Structure 1
Amino acid sequence: MKFSATAWWFGAAALLLTASCDSARNATDDATSDAAVSTAVESTTPADVTFSRDLTQGDYRFQVQSASIDNGQQLTIRTRRGDALVTDPIRMNVKGNVTDAIMGDLNGNGNPELYVITSGSGSFGGVEAYEFVERAFRPVQAPPKLSNDLAAGYNGQDKYEIRGNRLVRTFPVAATGTASGTTTAGDAGTTATGSTRTIEYTLNKDGMLMPVNTPASTDNKR
Structure 2
Amino acid sequence: MTAFTSSGGVMAEGGQCLEIGRPVALVDEARLQRFQRQMAADHGICLTFIAIPFRRSEQMMLQGKLDGDLLRTAIWAEMYAREVVAVPTPAFRSAVIAISPKASAVKITALLDLKAYRLLYPSGFRWAEQVVLELDMSAMQIPSVGRYLTTLRAGEADVGLLEKSVLPFLGDVSDMTIQEVEKLDYFIVLQRRHAGLVNAFDAALEKTGPFLLQE
Given the two structures, how large is their TM-score scaled by the length of structure 1? 0.28
Q: Which structure dedicates a bigger proportion of its chain to strand? A: 1
Given the two structures, how large is their TM-score scaled by the length of structure 2? 0.29
Q: Max radius of gyration: which structure?
A: 1
